[in-house]
Amino acid sequence: MSSAHSAVPTAGSVPSPSSPSSSTVSSSASAASAASSGDAAPTIAELLEFVRRTARNEELIASLPLDPEGRTWIRLDGPGGSEAWLIGWPPGTGTGWHDHADSIGAFTTAAGALKEHSLAVRLPTDGWKTLELTDGVDRSRELATGQGRAFGQNHVHEVLNESEDVHAVSVHAYYPPLPRIRRFSRTGAVLRLEQTESPEDWQ
């Protein structure tokens, strides 16, 4: 395991986990977090350990400017070539329903609290526009400061800061770096595919 990866600001790019609307952070920060060495692909457990350790880096968390109108972010060096982000969430913001294609991932709340709604079902990869979800597939969890979760491929969820007055900050990591994101809308039990984004759409 190696240590002390640097945060890499990405001027003008949109972080794929949440597509914030605000401008990117213009300054660098140091992330005193461990990462896997060598060329081996990181496991889900290693991604979760990375985001947990990074979330405990108080200096890094404090370096993220917070905007009352939109999300802010810093891109980080994740373990084993993974894609990682430090993201600030103003009160009342969220991602909307989406998945991460074939990437595995993990995220941890570093400050404030987040809520995740997810679907305990694997959606068809391609060839559909509208699906009717069955009963019992909805899952919700509160992620207070220091709490996080990992997930496998094709994980469908939305992440929200439901606070009326407190920012949240979180750390996310994905491997392989996100090849695409599918975005969905939902009305009751009906899930509709709205668009598919590729890296060139957010970089």
pLDDT score at 92: 97
pLDDT score recorded for residue 182: 92
**pLDDT of residue 19 exceeding 50:** no
Look at the alpha carbons of 87, 29, 178, 33 in this order and tell me if their dihedral is positive or negative. negative
| Residue 131, amino acid | L
pLDDT tens digits along 1-16? 322 233 333 322 334 4
Instruction: Report the SS3 class of residue 48.
Output: helix
The candidate with the shortest Cα–Cα distance to 33, out of 76, 1, 4, is 4
pLDDT of residue 6: 31
pLDDT category of residue 39 using cuts at 50, 70 and 90: low
Provide the CB-side half-sphere exposure for 46 (13 A, CA). 18
Determine contact, residues 34/50, Cβ cutoff 8 Å: yes
Q: Region 55-68: what's the mean pLDDT?
A: 96
CA 4 to chain centre: 21
pLDDT band (50, 70, 90) for residue 203: low
pLDDT at 198: 86
**CB neighbour list of residue 159: distance below 8 Å, 6 or more residues apart:** 18, 94, 95, 107, 114, 115, 116, 170
Instruction: List, in order, residues 6 or more apart from 198 with CB less than 8 Å away.
Output: 179, 180
Each residue's pLDDT tens digit, 70-99: 999 999 999 999 999 999 999 999 999 999
Segment 166-177 shows an average pLDDT of 97
Average pLDDT, the chain: 83
**Other C-beta atoms lying within 10 Å of the C-beta of residue 140:** 10
d(C-alpha 64, C-alpha 160), whole Å: 19
Cα 7 from Cα 75, distance rounded (Å) = 6
| pLDDT score, position 202 | 61
Cβ contacts of 139 within 8 Å, gap of 6 or more: 117, 118, 119, 120
Query: E strands of the chain, at which residues?
Result: 5-8, 30-31, 72-77, 83-89, 97-98, 104-111, 113-119, 130-132, 138-144, 148-151, 157-160, 168-175, 181-187, 190-197
Can you tell me the mean pLDDT for 43-70?
96
User: Does the pLDDT at position 149 exceed 70?
Assistant: yes
